[in-house]
Amino acid sequence: MTPRTIAIDGPAGAGKSTIGALVAERLGYLFLDTGAMYRAVTLAAQRRGIDPDDGPTLTKLAREVRVNIGPPTVRDGRAYTVLLDGEDVTWAIREPEIDRIVSQVARVPYVRDAMVEQQRALAERGRLVMVGRDIGTVVLPKADLKVFLTASAAERAKRREEELRARGQVRPRQELLQEILRRDRLDSERAVAPLRAADDAIIVQTDGLSVGQALERVFAVLTRADAREGPAPHGGQASRS
């Protein structure tokens, strides 16, 4: 049986969202990019002028805002639409200022609790691909399949530069690399739900791979999981009796 719940974790820029969305599309599963939820709360905080290190105020904010992620409502290259209190913020949450402060907001324990609760509620609905940092370790520790998608920081900075250029933004690669290293550090060293591969995750290294090639690697892992979970050739019953 194809795994029902698929957790994809990994560092910033490893291609989780792109690959996750494609896996979900091919399987006809729901797709949830949990990073977008943390980004939406961060945008709300930024707009209200809340200090990203002000835990108590962020905690209150996370209780107040409504974040919804659903299928694309506009055909402009987006994989999904993100609503913040009903407003379309799909692109606003990708601005460099949000990149810069999102890891600070995401380390506040109650912000995480509020997001994790919503993520688990969504997973209850059935087949889905969920991507993030702590899906296999914290959000869905019983996920049927866990993939840890990763790439070197240099490779991730290169991809980010190309992605931005495609959207008409030019940023020096060295600067992007520094940002990636800083976010890796904040995401991996925080006290609550740090970025790490679950013990039972399958690591997929994507350095030098195209999106198509990385996708095929993930499907190879999925197929192996299928084979492992399939019924025994002549059923277990007979051998037990």
134 binds ligand DC (CB under 6 A): yes
Give the integer Cα–Cα distance in Å for 223 and 191. 35
Q: Provide, rounded to whole angstroms, the least separation between the CB of residue 38 and ligand DC.
A: 4
Q: Which is nearer to ligand DC, 79 or 225 (CB)?
A: 79
Q: Provide, rounded to whole angstroms, the least separation between the CB of residue 154 and ligand DC.
A: 17
Q: Binding to ligand DC (CB under 6 A): which residues in 3-42?
A: 12, 34-35, 38-39
Give the integer Cα–Cα distance in Å for 119 and 115. 6
Q: Provide, rounded to whole angstroms, the least separation between the CB of residue 13 and ligand DC.
A: 7
Any idea of the CA torsion for 123, 90, 50, 64, to the nearest 10 degrees? -40
106 binds ligand DC (CB under 6 A): yes
Give the integer Cα–Cα distance in Å for 129 and 7. 6
Minimal CA–CA distance to 190: which of 130, 108, 100? 108
Q: Provide, rounded to whole angstroms, the least separation between the CB of residue 11 and ligand DC.
A: 9
Q: Which is nearer to ligand DC, 2 or 182 (CB)?
A: 182
Q: Which is nearer to ligand DC, 180 or 224 (CB)?
A: 180
Give the integer Cα–Cα distance in Å for 110 and 56. 9
224 phi, psi to nearest 5 deg: -65, -40
Q: Binding to ligand DC (CB under 6 A): which residues in 172-231?
A: 183, 187
Query: Which residues sit opposite 7 in a β-bridge?
Result: 130, 146
Number of chain residues interacting with ligand DC (CB under 6 A): 14
Q: Which is nearer to ligand DC, 70 or 229 (CB)?
A: 70
Among 5, 18, 46, 103, binds ligand DC (CB under 6 A): 103
Give the integer Cα–Cα distance in Å for 31 and 25. 8
Angle at CA of residue 36, ends 75 and 24, nearest 5°: 65
Minimal CA–CA distance to 13: which of 214, 217, 226? 214
Q: Which is nearer to ligand DC, 154 or 220 (CB)?
A: 154
44 binds ligand DC (CB under 6 A): no
Interface with ligand DC by CB under 6 A: which residues? 12, 34-35, 38-39, 102-103, 106, 132-135, 183, 187
